[in-house]
Amino acid sequence: MTKRRKKSKVVYVKLGRQRAWGQATIGEGLIEIDPRLGAKRQLEVLCHEQVHLTFPEMSEAQVDRAGKDLAAVLWDQNYRRVLLNPNSNPPKIS
Ligand SMILES: [Zn+2]
């Protein structure tokens, strides 16, 4: 049987007190991102924190490189966050 990946829960919260722009809670699969960041930095923090969840044993320096490279290639290929109206049907993307 293939092990299905646990879906990460991503929440946007101000993280000033933690002195961080993002935070990953490994046991819970939780990613927190500071909403005050710009779009590109949010993508970078999202990639960074997901790499922490995927590879909990990875060093901070390696996670940092992976997060930056993933975010850069996605951004360069014009991947962006689309905010959907919760009351509207999701658009069909083929
Ligand atoms: Zn980190």
CATH number at residue 25: 3.30.2010.10
CA of 12 to the centre of ligand 1 (A): 17
Mean pLDDT, rounded, for 8-14: 95
29: left (phi over 0), alpha (psi -120 to 50) or beta: left
Q: Are 11 and 32 in contact (CB under 8 A)?
A: yes
Gap between the Cα atoms of 29 and 38, Å rounded: 23
- The domain of 15 spans 9-76
Q: How many CB atoms lie within 10 A of CB 94?
A: 2
pLDDT in tens, 27-82: 999 999 999 999 999 999 999 999 999 999 999 999 999 999 999 999 999 999 98
Centre of ligand 1 to C-alpha 3, Å, is: 25
Based on the structure, what is the number of domains in the chain? 1
Task: Spell out which residues have Cβ within 5 A of ligand 1, the ion.
Answer: 63
Determine, yes or no, domain membership for 84. Answer: no
- Tell me, yes or no, whether 14 lies in a domain: yes
The answer to the question of residue 67 being in a domain is: yes
Ligand 1 centroid to residue 76 C-alpha, Å: 22
Is 85 within the bounds of a domain? no
User: Quick one: pLDDT at residue 7?
Assistant: 93
For residue 91, being part of any structural domain is answered with: no
- Residue 94 reports pLDDT greater than 70: no
Residue 88 pLDDT level (bands cut at 50, 70, 90): confident
What pLDDT score does 5 carry?
A: 75
Pairing of strands 30-33, 22-25: antiparallel
2 contacts: CB under 8 Å, gap ≥ 6: none
For residue 56, being part of any structural domain is answered with: yes
At 74, which amino acid appears?
L
Instruction: Please say if the pLDDT value at position 89 is more than 90.
Output: no
61 occurs within a structural domain:
yes
